[in-house]
Structure 1
């Protein structure tokens, strides 16, 4: 039964234990399942593969006539001697690695990473002749590392994050075991070192000669495993988030939308496994699960933020899906706190704003536009899979201390995993409105498909808004008049009549640089008009738009 890497939620299905003994594989990894693993799962004697990692499960693996809390029960050896795959990583298991794992003679892959396991590595594991992948990283395991079986091949072994380990093959670069630890580690006789190393080296050469066709696959798997370990998110509870935000106090509220509210908070986090907890200022995005579509928005944002890495995109610190103190479902994202608020606040300041903002200059607006264009270019053309933002507008653009831009809010984002899926998405006949009024491309309102050209349209409108200072939803834009049409009527001869006067700190009409400023603004407006054309096929790509804006800035600053 393979249900991994989906969007399954709710409690762990207890009826699974009633399935027949013919069930060979149970894969529920990378979902949103909560609750405890039901008792009786050891009765599935036909299992060959078992994976529950990257969910929100609590408690321990149950054992009949016992109530072990936090440890891996010895009855795990009763699952089936034909078991080939076992993944218990990223949980809170404690205690020692059970010796009974040695009964799983056909086991090929064993993952126990990121738990609180202690004690020594059972010597019986080196007798599992079919085991080629073992990951016990980031636990509290100590003592000697065996040198037979899976332990003689460093490429299939992950031991990082266990400070007490010693010995093992030279490729592991672990410290030598002390002679005084007779009970904790196997003594290494000096007379045997040279022949053992020579034998291992010879066996490695012979072994490699037989697995060359498989070598690329194994390297790829190891690279993926390491990247997942490095990308592990710190775990936070509801109580920690409540404490960080003053129980989600109104005084800490910094933003609100249809599906969520965002609070400023101080959260204690570790920089890495070896560091102490440090106080970090974060933004906690709490989803209103009473609002229809909010759970889907949470999952879409989690899925997107897990994939993207760019200097001009909001950084995902961690997420939390649990139960609050009243027993209600609770879902939240923890994001980087961006101190200067959103771009809408800078373009259209409120009269009662207690912190008046200085107008953004021409140079600053051009830099912000380039940051946004670079981010969208990455999402469309350099991210795997490609991402369509679907809700680009000034309130979703955040400004850092240096006023560099950061694109946020991926609650409506759409992933295009491959060309086949992309063509299916783009052939949808009706999707409804996806985005915000004033920035939604016309084809979406007419039942058109979701595509990257929709983001291009929104960017074009945003660019025109940034340099004219006019909101596309202003009262003047009615009866068919749009911001695009308004600007088009003035382009190019009267561009200086419609641009935002707050762009300039001096009277540009009397400036020696007037002609250069005018040429620069005409070029920027041209990009905005081309991106926001009515027909999707007439719009330029984000890659082209980013290149054009970079050229305009180079011309203006030289």
Structure 2
């Protein structure tokens, strides 16, 4: 119920990213100071108030803004050309005001615009032809104005436009018959009494024929000028089409495999949806990079609520990326477990430039990858707290449970094939989730004897792959067990398997063997010691953890523990630690 004007001092909030003032009783002119805040990058919502006067030219200062909502106010005057400086805008709503004059042609240069709503104003003149050149525009609302002349034919060649409302204007002439104009639910034209033609289902009157003299004049023009031009354009089109088809034939596989994430349980999302959710895949939203692409943080409306998501975008120029996308979709479509990354849906379509686009939408993990927590010195730009003994044991128990589920409790069984700290993500309450199934292999039979695409020499990440893979051995669940053992040692020693100290035959496993059983405290992560009170208590846990890790990393696959046994051992160690923590808290 806020009243009165917005204070000019709002321009002092130099770090403001999002500002929402909607549904109040604010009045007076819009302060130009709020439009000078270059930090505004998400949303500025001034809708449903009583602001008056014009839209100041300072609006062009919102060059980073994604959503601008000023609908349902009392603004008037002409729309400023400075709007075109807002090149990051995806949605612009100015409906329900008293803007007059013509629609600025400069708006058509806003290439990222997905939604433009100018409904219920007093706009006059023609609909600019340039609006039809905005390839990414999905929704265009121009109803209840005083727009005149014919509908621009350029609008029918917009592949992205699926909603067009031009009703209750003064438009006349021929209605185009292609594109959005064939969509009976997406195209609204009521209240324009002089429109004619279009597809038959619109039930508009036929357009009047021209006089014979005009027809002859037009025929001469066509014969003398247009036909040669069309011939040249047609030849150029055929040549360009040939190059385009050849390029795509070389770039894309001949057979497109449909992902497994289909059905009603997975929401359908478009490139436009993900573009909006990630603020145009901005660098500020980038949370990680991998072998086959990048991961962006986004915000999407799902199940009528807004939530954070992770959008994994595949770099299709990278060899093996498309295959990784298909493999990950197949694997994620078969699994459900509290310690596996939650999949929301996938997207396989074209971007605004008609290039192939593939992405998977996942639950967002607020605490990021485990690797950043184990080696904070490497990621100094993103400092984190040091993991305690109990936190490390809980994470180890979580990821063991995830692998046990993949190996023994989902049908068909799955081998992860790329188990490492970078693929272990920490969610709410520091619960660990295993992700990145781009290299996962699905077992053909329950016993795990035969595998799909079982070539093992290139699967996994150096340092975490088992020794048998270097000898061309068969992919099997025991390989994941080996990787788990390496990760367990890394969690408690603070040493990566590719640490520079491991040379001349010394490996992380051999490093642990040399210390086990008597000197395990000599190899413990110094960071862990810095947050725990007594070395004596840690010693027994370090002994148990090292023993378990060495049992997982035995050279022969058949000598290693199964993941079900690993889970049992981890639960024992974790439970014992939990009891000690409770006793210590009770004593204090």
TM over 0.5: yes
Q: Please name the residue that 2:568 is paired with.
A: 547
1:454 lines up with 2:479 in the alignment:
yes
Alignment partner of 2:328 out of 301, 306, 310: 301
Shift of 1:504: 3.3
Determine the C-alpha separation between the residues in 2 that align with 1:356 and 1:340: 11
Alignment partner of 2:501 out of 476, 484, 494: 476
Shift of 1:465: 0.5
CA-to-partner distance for each residue in 1:292-349, whole Å, 9 max, x for gaps? 1111100111111111100000000111000111111110000011011100000001
Determine the C-alpha separation between the residues in 1 that align with 2:569 and 2:306: 41
1:537 lines up with 2:558 in the alignment:
yes
Determine the C-alpha separation between the residues in 2 that align with 1:251 and 1:426: 39
Determine the C-alpha separation between the residues in 1 that align with 2:381 and 2:362: 25
Shift of 1:230: 8.3
Q: Which sections of structure 1, spanning at least 5 residues, go unmatched? A: 1-58, 60-66, 72-91, 94-227, 272-276
Alignment partner of 2:286 out of 253, 272, 276: 253
Determine the C-alpha separation between the residues in 1 that align with 2:376 and 2:333: 33
Alignment partner of 1:350 out of 364, 374, 377: 377
1:231 and 1:389, CA in 2 relative to 1: closer, same or farther beyond 3 A?
A: farther
SS in 1 for 2:327: helix
Shift of 1:472: 0.5
Which of structures 1 and 2 has the bigger CA Rg? 2
Determine the C-alpha separation between the residues in 1 that align with 2:532 and 2:330: 49
CA-to-partner distance for each residue in 1:462-502, whole Å, 9 max, x for gaps? 00000111111011112211100001011000001111122
Determine the C-alpha separation between the residues in 2 that align with 1:310 and 1:424: 24
Determine the C-alpha separation between the residues in 2 that align with 1:367 and 1:254: 24
Q: Please name the residue that 2:451 is paired with.
A: 425
Determine the C-alpha separation between the residues in 2 that align with 1:267 and 1:424: 40
Q: Please name the residue that 1:403 is paired with.
A: 430
Where does 1:75-94 land on structure 2 (aligned, <5 Å)?
A: none
Determine the C-alpha separation between the residues in 2 that align with 1:517 and 1:413: 35
Q: Please name the residue that 2:155 is paired with.
A: none
Q: Please name the residue that 1:517 is paired with.
A: 538
1:313 lines up with 2:326 in the alignment:
no
SS in 2 for 1:360: coil
Determine the C-alpha separation between the residues in 1 that align with 2:417 and 2:262: 30
1:465 lines up with 2:490 in the alignment:
yes
SS in 2 for 1:425: coil
Q: Please name the residue that 1:377 is paired with.
A: 404
Q: Which sections of structure 2, spanning at least 5 residues, go unmatched? A: 1-161, 163-178, 187-260, 580-588
Residues 516, 556 of structure 1: 8 Å contact kept: no
Determine the C-alpha separation between the residues in 2 that align with 1:288 and 1:340: 24
Q: In angstroms, what is the RMSD of aligned CA positions?
A: 2.6
CA-to-partner distance for each residue in 1:336-373, whole Å, 9 max, x for gaps? 11011100000001366344212111111000000000
Shift of 1:229: 9.8
Residues 371, 405 of structure 1: 8 Å contact kept: yes
Determine the C-alpha separation between the residues in 2 that align with 1:264 and 1:352: 19
Determine the C-alpha separation between the residues in 2 that align with 1:326 and 1:229: 25
1:526 lines up with 2:534 in the alignment:
no
SS in 2 for 1:318: strand
Shift of 1:432: 2.1
Determine the C-alpha separation between the residues in 2 that align with 1:433 and 1:485: 24
CA-to-partner distance for each residue in 1:441-474, whole Å, 9 max, x for gaps? 1111111111000000000000000011111101
TM-score (norm 2): 0.53
Which has the larger displacement, 363-372 or 344-353? 344-353
Determine the C-alpha separation between the residues in 1 that align with 2:484 and 2:413: 17
Determine the C-alpha separation between the residues in 2 that align with 1:396 and 1:552: 24
TM-score (norm 1): 0.56
Shift of 1:243: 1.1
Q: Please name the residue that 1:111 is paired with.
A: none
Determine the C-alpha separation between the residues in 2 that align with 1:506 and 1:257: 31
Q: Please name the residue that 1:336 is paired with.
A: 363
SS in 2 for 1:286: strand
Determine the C-alpha separation between the residues in 1 that align with 2:263 and 2:453: 37
Residues 271, 350 of structure 2: 8 Å contact kept: yes
Residue correspondences, number: 328
CA-to-partner distance for each residue in 1:86-122, whole Å, 9 max, x for gaps? xxxxxx99xxxxxxxxxxxxxxxxxxxxxxxxxxxxx
Q: Please name the residue that 1:264 is paired with.
A: 297
Determine the C-alpha separation between the residues in 1 that align with 2:372 and 2:503: 24
1:495 lines up with 2:528 in the alignment:
no
1:423 and 1:69, CA in 2 relative to 1: closer, same or farther beyond 3 A?
A: farther
Where does 1:195-274 land on structure 2 (aligned, <5 Å)?
A: 232-269=265-302, 271=303
1:547 and 1:69, CA in 2 relative to 1: closer, same or farther beyond 3 A?
A: farther
Residues 400, 406 of structure 1: 8 Å contact kept: yes
Q: Please name the residue that 1:32 is paired with.
A: none
1:294 and 1:485, CA in 2 relative to 1: closer, same or farther beyond 3 A?
A: same
SS in 2 for 1:537: helix
Determine the C-alpha separation between the residues in 1 that align with 2:529 and 2:523: 13
Determine the C-alpha separation between the residues in 2 that align with 1:466 and 1:365: 7
Determine the C-alpha separation between the residues in 2 that align with 1:397 and 1:352: 16
